[in-house]
């Protein structure tokens, strides 16, 4: 299909064609090369020159998002009425334009696919802003991308909570490069990813969108994702800054408020990944969050958006609000009497761009009133606009505003490299939680028939979300096993039970008798199980049960899923439980009685293929948990790292011993994950063993695969500060490396501990490295420590 041509008068065509010169573009169409149009000029000089030419209308248009087609924007391509629209004076960014989300039928467009058509359409929109606005300021085209670019038929990745289980920096960097490459090819210039929030409470709905619960682990993987995206010339916008993931009781939905986080915990745990990724990946974007902290909404906090982010961390990109964050100042937090006052507060605090699902006039017109009244200074406005322009200059939009080769998008999106990465990522997310008596892998020669059952066996909606690619074929567990089995293994399938029941979630607290239809489904599965050599049962959650605004009050398997599992176990046949879920679940019965459990999370487009390969031994799982599995919601919070004694049991005797009243300990600890082989650790070296506070420490250890099959091990380094001026965490993760070993092979793993790794916040809230003894612990999980050795800081 040929893209429509925008009709413009002849004299304008002549003027527009003349603005493109060798090496520069005459954006303001004045016939001369202004400083901001000159690629050889310093960026700050170009920004200052451009701001000096902007009027208030143009400045305020650089402080607001225009949601793309099917949300706020009604036109797919520029239309004559645009010359009378607010954005006739420009716009900061257009979000999710022409990406065809199936969840929003109004947003489905003919320009999303093939990818070359989208790139050409974005060029058409960009050309309008360059040629038809007075100063020609290009648009930043933004889009979501936490598990693949949020676009029609882009490369679909596993959910972030699954990606966290890989503990593989190189693979995550590769994934980021694919996201960035596909964004750049299709015309997007800014990707809202990664999420750096900590999944400290599994009840919270967005656990599925986090890499895990530990700040060091999240910082390491988040940094690689951001670097990969920005390597492709696309901005990475990290989110949600800050203290977003701990609303009271894990409740988001209408709440998203009242995080119970102490100041020291705020900086050591929740801000740690943001600080490191800002400073080490030099990200161009930060998204401010909905929530308050200690009574002050973050999006209206000068402390968070200016003092911390810019002055302490050195951030020099632009801050965009999460949608509705500005409105919440007066509608939820009620710290502003009206929307206009909320706008004043966020702009003063350091918010550069407002995003919401309403027309940009709702924000810009009150903003202009504030400026005209003198309630917001020109200096403040110029600072906000400069932040946006700085990113646009860093992206090269003033030198190369268009996709150079739109046709190339068809070969750059979901190409062979992306497919190989996608498949490997789906394998490496898998975590073997339990494997009694080597139940896994199944022997294809001895397994002539299998029953595949469970409500998640044939489900695929878990891998398609509001924040990722759409119109993608997802291989279910059932399909993956059927493809693997071919004609050699008989695969029988019955669903067994539904994911939930009509009374869920109330049925979690008030059980109802099983119905005849429910019992019949379980009986059908039992009948087929008796004719099978092995049972693969797929249980857990789907996309409707976990995600944004989907907090749970319980973490057990919902509805009749446990009854189905118990019925399968009662047949006496080998039972393998595959979990499809977006958060830790309290699968206590399964852990006690089911011989093998494979955690697959939301494993992405090729997850079913990876699961089948793993169950039959073609792939040896090597993933590790990035979140603690509790035994019951009554233990929450139960997470890593933790303070001494906070996870301890109860004394049964002595002066404070009054009997046992609680179930203690995790179901599965942070860092846990088994393998089809075994690994030995030896030869721990820590050098030097005595050093000054600003020196570094080198740690090495030998890891040997002493089993009969090749496999991956995630070697984890934990650090224990023996004595400190303030209570420190029991241990802290300060290094990890995923290595691949052939049978009998030994590799030496090397870690470098920097002063930042040893630092704590002292009594006066200053980061410092205190003298004393530090113990290095090397192990296979946070509780499976194999080697220990200490060093002294003088």
Mean pLDDT (the chain, rounded): 95
Tell whether omega for the bond before 713 is within 30 degrees of 0, i.e. cis: no
Strand order in the sheet with 285-288: 65-67, 93-95, 140-144, 190-192, 235-241, 285-288, 318-321
* pLDDT-above-90 percentage for the chain: 91
SS (H, E, C) 413-454: CCCHHHHHHHHHHHHHCCEEEEEHHHCCCCCCCCCCEEEEEC
In angstroms, how far apart are the furthest CA atoms of the chain? 94
Unique residue bearing structure tokens 């040896």: 620
Tell whether the model's pLDDT for residue 1 goes beyond 50: no
Residue 252's pLDDT band (cuts 50, 70, 90): confident
Note the pLDDT of residue 648: 79
pLDDT value, residue 73: 96
Rounded Cα–Cα distance for residues 777 and 775 (Å):
6
Out of 283-297, 361-375, 510-524, 642-656, pick the least confident: 642-656
What's the pTM value of the predicted model, to 2 decimals?
Answer: 0.96
- pLDDT tens-digit map of 148-168: 999 999 999 999 999 999 999
Look at residue 654 and tell me whether its pLDDT is greater than 70.
no
Sheet holding 746-753, edge to edge: 679-687, 697-705, 746-753
Does the pLDDT at position 403 exceed 70?
Answer: yes
Strands 534-540 and 449-453: parallel
The percent of residues in the chain predicted with pLDDT above 70, rounded, is: 97
Average pLDDT value for residue range 573-579: 98
Residue 95's pLDDT band, with cuts at 50, 70 and 90, is very high
Q: Is the peptide bond before 566 cis (omega within 30 degrees of 0)?
A: no
Would you state the structure tokens that stand for residue 298, as one six-digit string? 């973050």
**pLDDT tens digits, residue range 584-602?**
999 999 999 999 999 999 9
pLDDT computed for residue 768 by the predictor? 96
Once rounded to an integer, what is the mean pLDDT over residues 536-550? 95
Average pLDDT over residues 213-223: 98
pLDDT per residue as tens digits for the range 273-304? 999 999 999 999 999 999 999 999 999 999 99
Q: Residue 735 and residue 751: Cα distance in Å, rounded?
A: 7
User: pLDDT tier at 102 (50, 70, 90 boundaries)?
Assistant: confident
pLDDT at 108: 94
Least confident of 9-13, 313-317, 403-407, 702-706: 9-13
- pLDDT of residue 7 exceeding 80, the answer is no
How deeply is 163 buried, as exposed, middle or buried, from its count of CB atoms within 10 A (0-12, 13-18, 19+)?
Answer: buried
Q: How confident is the model at residue 249 (pLDDT cuts 50, 70, 90)?
A: confident
Using an 8 Å Cβ cutoff, are 453 and 525 in contact? yes
Q: How confident is the model at residue 366 (pLDDT cuts 50, 70, 90)?
A: very high
Which residues are within 8 A (CB) of 298 and not within 5 positions of it... i.e. 6 or more apart?
241, 242, 243, 244, 288, 289, 290, 291, 292, 304, 305, 325
Run of H or E including 50:
helix 43-53
pLDDT(2) > 50:
no
Cα gap 153→157, rounded to integer Å: 12
Average of pLDDT values for 621-637?
Answer: 96
CA-to-CA separations, 101 to 111, 151, 416, 472, in angstroms, rounded: 12, 7, 24, 11
> Poorest-confidence range of 8-12, 38-42, 491-495?
8-12
Residue 762 CB partners (closer than 8 Å, separation 6+): 725, 726, 768, 770
Could you tell me the CA-to-CA distances from 344 to 110, 202, 328, 336, 381 in Å, in that order?
Answer: 40, 36, 13, 9, 11
Closest CA to 558 of 543, 570, 582, 541: 541
Q: What is the pLDDT of residue 35?
A: 98
Q: State the pLDDT at residue 659.
A: 66
The reported pLDDT for the residue numbered 13 is 45
The gap from C-alpha 394 to its chain's centroid, in whole angstroms, comes to: 24
pLDDT surpasses 80 at 656: no
- CA angle, 159 as apex, 729 and 152 as ends, to 5°? 150
Whole-angstrom distance, CA of residue 552 vs CA of residue 251? 8
Q: How high is the pLDDT of residue 16? A: 58
* pLDDT bracket for residue 734 (50, 70, 90): very high
C-alpha 582: how far from chain center: 12
- Tell whether the model's pLDDT for residue 11 goes beyond 50: no
**Radius of gyration for the alpha carbons in the chain, expressed in angstroms and rounded:** 28
Closest CA to 240 of 189, 204, 203: 204
pLDDT score at 626: 98
- DSSP secondary structure letters along 112-144: SSSHHHHHHHHHHHHHHHHHHSSS-PPPEEEEE
Which stretches of 335-475 are DSSP H helices?
A: 339-349, 361-373, 378-394, 409-412, 416-428
């Amino acid at each position: 299909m040929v893209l429509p041509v925008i009709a413009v008068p002849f004299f304008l065509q002549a003027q527009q064609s003349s603005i493109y010169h060798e090496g520069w573009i005459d954006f303001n169409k004045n016939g001369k090369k202004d400083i901001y149009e000159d690629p050889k000029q310093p960026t700050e000089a170009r920004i200052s020159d451009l701001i000096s030419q902007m009027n208030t209308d143009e400045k305020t248009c650089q402080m607001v998002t225009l949601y793309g087609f099917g949300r706020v924007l009604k036109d797919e391509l520029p239309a004559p009425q645009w010359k009378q629209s607010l954005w006739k004076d420009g716009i900061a960014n257009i979000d999710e334009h022409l990406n065809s989300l199936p969840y929003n039928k109004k947003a489905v467009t003919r320009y999303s696919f093939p990818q070359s058509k989208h790139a050409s359409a974005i060029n058409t929109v960009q050309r309008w802003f360059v040629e038809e606005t007075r100063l020609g300021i290009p648009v930043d085209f933004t889009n979501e991308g936490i598990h693949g670019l949020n676009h029609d038929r882009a490369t679909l990745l596993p959910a972030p909570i699954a990606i966290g289980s890989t503990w593989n920096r190189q693979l995550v960097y590769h994934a980021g490069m694919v996201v960035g490459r596909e964004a750049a090819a299709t015309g997007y210039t800014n990707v809202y990813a990664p999420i750096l929030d900590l999944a400290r409470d599994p009840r919270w709905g967005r656990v599925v969108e986090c890499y895990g619960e530990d700040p060091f682990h999240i910082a390491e993987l988040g940094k690689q994702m951001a670097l990969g995206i920005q390597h492709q010339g696309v901005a990475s916008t990290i989110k949600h800054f800050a203290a977003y993931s701990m609303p009271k009781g894990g409740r988001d939905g209408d709440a998203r408020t009242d995080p119970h986080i102490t100041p020291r915990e705020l900086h050591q745990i929740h801000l740690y990944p943001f600080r490191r990724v800002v400073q080490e990946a030099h990200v161009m974007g930060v998204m401010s969050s909905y929530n308050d902290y200690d009574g002050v909404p973050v999006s209206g906090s000068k402390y968070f958006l200016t003092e911390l982010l810019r002055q302490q961390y050195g951030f020099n990109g632009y801050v965009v609000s999460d949608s509705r964050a500005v409105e919440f100042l007066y509608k939820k937090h009620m710290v502003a009497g009206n929307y206009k006052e909320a706008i004043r507060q966020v702009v003063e605090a350091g918010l550069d761009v407002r995003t919401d699902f309403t027309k940009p006039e709702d924000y810009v017109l009150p903003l202009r009133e504030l400026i005209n009244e003198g309630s917001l200074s020109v200096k403040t406005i110029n600072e906000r606009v400069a932040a946006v322009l700085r990113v646009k200059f860093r992206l090269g939009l003033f030198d190369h505003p268009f996709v150079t080769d739109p046709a190339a998008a068809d070969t750059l999106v979901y190409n062979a490299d992306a497919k190989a990465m996608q498949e490997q990522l789906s394998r490496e997310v898998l975590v073997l939680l339990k494997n009694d008596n080597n139940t896994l892998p199944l022997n294809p020669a001895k397994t002539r028939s299998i029953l595949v059952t469970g409500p998640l066996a044939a489900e695929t909606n878990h891998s398609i979300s509001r924040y990722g690619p759409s119109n993608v074929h997802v291989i279910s567990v059932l399909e993956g096993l059927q493809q693997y089995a071919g004609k050699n293994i008989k695969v029988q399938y019955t669903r067994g039970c539904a994911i939930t029941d009509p009374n869920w979630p109330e049925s979690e607290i008030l059980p109802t008798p099983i119905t005849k239809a429910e019992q019949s489904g379980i009986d059908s599965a039992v009948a087929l199980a008796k004719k099978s050599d092995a049972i693969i049962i797929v249980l857990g959650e789907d996309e409707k049960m976990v995600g944004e605004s989907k907090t749970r009050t319980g973490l057990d398997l919902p509805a009749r899923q446990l009854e189905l599992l118990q019925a399968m176990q009662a047949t006496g046949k080998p039972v393998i439980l595959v979990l499809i879920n977006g958060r830790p679940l309290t699968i206590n019965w399964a852990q006690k009685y089911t011989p093998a459990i494979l955690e697959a999370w939301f494993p992405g487009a090729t997850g079913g293929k990876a699961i089948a390969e793993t169950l039959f031994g073609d792939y040896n799982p090597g993933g590790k948990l990035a979140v603690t599995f509790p035994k019951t919601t009554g233990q929450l919070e139960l997470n890593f790292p933790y303070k001494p004694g906070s996870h301890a049991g109860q004394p049964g005797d002595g002066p404070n011993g009054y009997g046992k009243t609680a179930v203690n300990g995790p179901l599965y600890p942070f860092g846990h994950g088994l393998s089809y082989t075994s690994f030995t650790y030896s030869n721990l070296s820590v050098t030097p063993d005595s050093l000054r506070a600003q020196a570094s420490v080198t740690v090495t250890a030998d890891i040997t695969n002493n089993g009969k099959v090749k496999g991956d091990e995630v070697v984890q380094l934990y650090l224990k500060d023996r004595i400190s001026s303030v209570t420190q965490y029991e241990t802290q993760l300060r290094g990890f490396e995923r290595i691949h070993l052939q049978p009998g092979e030994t590799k030496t793993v090397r870690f470098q501990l920097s002063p930042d790794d040893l630092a704590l916040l002292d009594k006066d809230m200053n980061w410092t490295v205190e003298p004393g003894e530090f113990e290095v612990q090397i192990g296979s999980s946070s509780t499976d420590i194999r080697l220990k050795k200490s060093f002294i800081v003088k």
